[in-house]
């Protein structure tokens, strides 16, 4: 268990360093998206100007043609009028486009000078304002809610170690989903948050060597099955209440001297735990019968699994995505001679 803890700590440190490097990359990417969006808006404006003036010219020319058909003007007069109208519209297009071209020139210069945020504040880009770097107009509420989903690998710690497990490392997995509330603890600082809610956990184990769990009195042991199994899987489902102290390193922002807060915008670290009840346990066995038919046997029961579960958990990530680890402090089976505790490692998503 000590070796696993050291390995996990090193993995978390490496993951954190990667996230810090990605933070700068994300910033540059957002700036590029901002520049491209603004350039696209200006380009659209130029196309719109041209289309508007050409449409107007078409209407004016049609009016001249009507006058020509009615005989109120001669063909020479009609041609002269059309020429005048075309020249007038060309001048209008040129003048209107010149303004847009000047905006594009200022945008390019702002990008070169690294003053894109300043430029954003001076210009109004309509529906593309979502790309502006000064998007915060009001602070988040003190308490927000998130939908949480997590998935990854799952196994049992036996005698303080996972090495030499009786369960497949990649075939055994876990899922978790639920809702959480995130409350900012400090009025004028975004660092500390209390994160709490509920989750449904699915912990799956796939035994090796064609084995299944067999309940014998108050003991539950792995035994080799007499049938050649295509798959053997044991699942426990829990309803738990997680509680974490979250350190959110999203920067504090201000507008007109007033502080504004947004969570899940940078690196986040959560430390805490969970406690809850077992909902059900189920064992699946898949095999082919003598006729080649696929058979699935589902066996429900308590299997002497503890009805109560509690443990510690932590996550470290960037924005909504985190590396997630959880460990049951109580053993999975209530009375087994050898204590085995569930451990999970995976990826977690917190969607605001």
Tens of pLDDT along the chain (352 residues) come to: 544 444 454 455 555 555 545 555 555 555 555 667 777 777 777 888 888 888 888 888 888 888 888 888 888 888 888 888 888 878 888 778 777 777 777 766 666 666 656 555 555 544 444 344 444 455 678 899 999 999 999 999 998 889 989 999 999 999 999 999 999 998 888 889 999 999 999 999 999 999 999 999 999 999 999 899 999 999 999 999 999 999 999 887 766 667 777 788 899 999 999 999 999 999 999 999 888 889 899 999 999 999 999 999 999 999 999 999 999 999 999 999 899 999 999 999 999 8
Does this model's pTM top 0.85? My answer is no
Query: Using CA atoms, how far apart are residues 253 and 136, in angstroms rounded to an integer?
Result: 8
CA angle 105, 110, 116 (to 5 degrees): 130
Query: Using CA atoms, how far apart are residues 204 and 173, in angstroms rounded to an integer?
Result: 5
Q: CB count, 10 Å around CB of 271?
A: 13
β-bridge pairing 231-248 and 219-224 = unpaired
Query: Using CA atoms, how far apart are residues 89 and 91, in angstroms rounded to an integer?
Result: 5
């Amino acid at each position: 268990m000590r070796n696993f803890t050291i390995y996990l700590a090193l993995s978390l440190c490496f993951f954190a360093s990667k996230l810090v490097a990605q933070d700068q990359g994300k910033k540059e990417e957002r700036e590029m998206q901002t520049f491209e969006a603004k350039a696209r808006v200006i380009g659209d404006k130029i196309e719109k100007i041209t289309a508007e003036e050409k449409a107007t010219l078409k209407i004016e020319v049609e009016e001249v043609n009507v006058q020509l058909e009615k005989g109120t003007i001669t063909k020479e007069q009609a041609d002269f009028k059309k020429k005048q109208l075309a020249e007038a519209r060309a001048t209008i297009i040129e003048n209107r486009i010149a303004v847009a071209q000047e905006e594009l020139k200022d945008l390019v210069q702002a990008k070169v000078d690294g003053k894109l945020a300043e430029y954003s504040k001076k210009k109004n880009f309509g529906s593309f304002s979502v790309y502006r770097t000064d998007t915060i107009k009001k602070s988040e509420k003190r308490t927000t809610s998130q939908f949480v989903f997590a998935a990854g690998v799952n196994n049992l710690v036996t005698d303080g170690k996972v090495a030499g497990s009786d369960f497949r490392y990649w075939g055994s997995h876990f899922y978790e989903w639920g809702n959480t509330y995130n409350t900012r603890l400090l009025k004028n600082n975004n660092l500390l948050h209390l994160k709490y809610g509920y989750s449904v956990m699915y912990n799956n184990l796939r035994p090796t060597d064609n084995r299944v769990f067999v309940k014998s009195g108050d003991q539950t042991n792995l035994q080799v099955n007499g049938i050649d199994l295509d798959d053997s899987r044991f699942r426990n489902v829990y309803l738990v209440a997680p509680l974490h102290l979250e350190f959110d390193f999203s920067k504090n922002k201000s507008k007109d001297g007033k502080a504004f807060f947004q969570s899940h915008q940078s690196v986040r670290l959560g430390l805490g735990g969970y406690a809850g009840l077992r909902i059900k346990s189920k064992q699946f066995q898949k095999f082919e019968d003598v006729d080649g038919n696929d058979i699935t046997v589902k066996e429900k029961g308590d299997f002497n699994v503890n009805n109560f579960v509690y443990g510690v958990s932590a996550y470290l990530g960037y924005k909504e995505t985190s590396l997630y680890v959880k460990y049951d402090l109580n053993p999975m089976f209530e009375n087994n001679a050898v204590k085995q505790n569930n451990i999970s490692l995976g990826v977690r998503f917190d969607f605001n």
